[in-house]
Amino acid sequence: MKLSLAEENYLKAVYHLSAEGETEVSTNAIAEEMQTKAASVSDMMRRLSEKELVHYKKYQGVRISNDGARAALQVVRKHRLWEVFLVEKLKFSWDQVHEIAEQLEHIKSPLLIKRLDEFLGHPKYDPHGDPIPDENGEFKEKPQIPLSSTNLNDDGIVVAVKDTSPVFLQHLDRIGIYLGAKIKTIEKTEFDGSMEILIDQKNKLFISKEVAQNVLVTN
């Protein structure tokens, strides 16, 4: 099935929204995610549902179909592989790659993606710690919990970030938190949810609740 750029983007939005919450996704939520209007979403959902990429009942929200999820995962795969390429090979920082990958993810050539994957050494995670689906759409998420819900004296490794916006990523760079950093929780403040942590057994750091909630670690 050949999808237009707009169709791919809507499908991706539906996929992402259903991945992180309910299976039924609301028209408004999609409009918000896509920076567009609800009317446009309704229209597109009607069309995607004709192509059986989503299940759609008027006024009831949409649910992604198997075919739809498969297509969305291929776009996600391409997006994340390109992000790895940009960071590993072209020396971009992790806060710069999303926009460019948004464009590159729509390039249509299965062979290109196969070769790119080989060239990069079959990476399993992108620069933000998100898993890269394989050719069949399979992937394994690393077990990850927000730094904010670790216990005192817990040791953990930063495996991903929840918020991938440039401002947040740049903030992490500035304070010295990066993917793979070893983190020990030294103190948690009840009052405002802020924490004191130790990075790589060297640097003590105070971080806000907001930061702690958006940094994901394994233990």
Which positions lie near DNA, rule CB under 7 A?
4-7, 10, 26-29, 36-47, 56, 58-61
User: Out of a second copy, DNA, none, which partner does residue 90 contact, by CB within 5 to 8 A per kind?
Assistant: a second copy
User: Out of DNA, a second copy, none, which partner does residue 213 contact, by CB within 5 to 8 A per kind?
Assistant: none
CB of 209 to DNA, least distance (A): 26
Closer to DNA by Cβ: residue 38 or 205: 38
Closer to a second copy by Cβ: residue 54 or 86: 86
User: With CB under 8 A, what is the number of residues at the site for a second copy?
Assistant: 18
87 binds a second copy per the rule CB under 8 A: no
Q: Which listed range, 22-30, 40-48, 98-106, 139-147, lies at the site for a second copy (CB under 8 A)? A: 98-106
Map 133-179 to HEC letters. CCCCCCCCCCCCEEHHHCCCCCEEEEEEECCCCHHHHHHHHHHCCCC
Using CB under 8 A, pick the residue from 116, 159, 215, 217 that binds a second copy.
Answer: 116
CB of 78 to a second copy, least distance (A): 12
92 binds a second copy per the rule CB under 8 A: yes
Contact positions toward a second copy, by CB under 8 A? 86, 89-92, 96, 99-100, 103-104, 107-109, 111-112, 115-116, 119
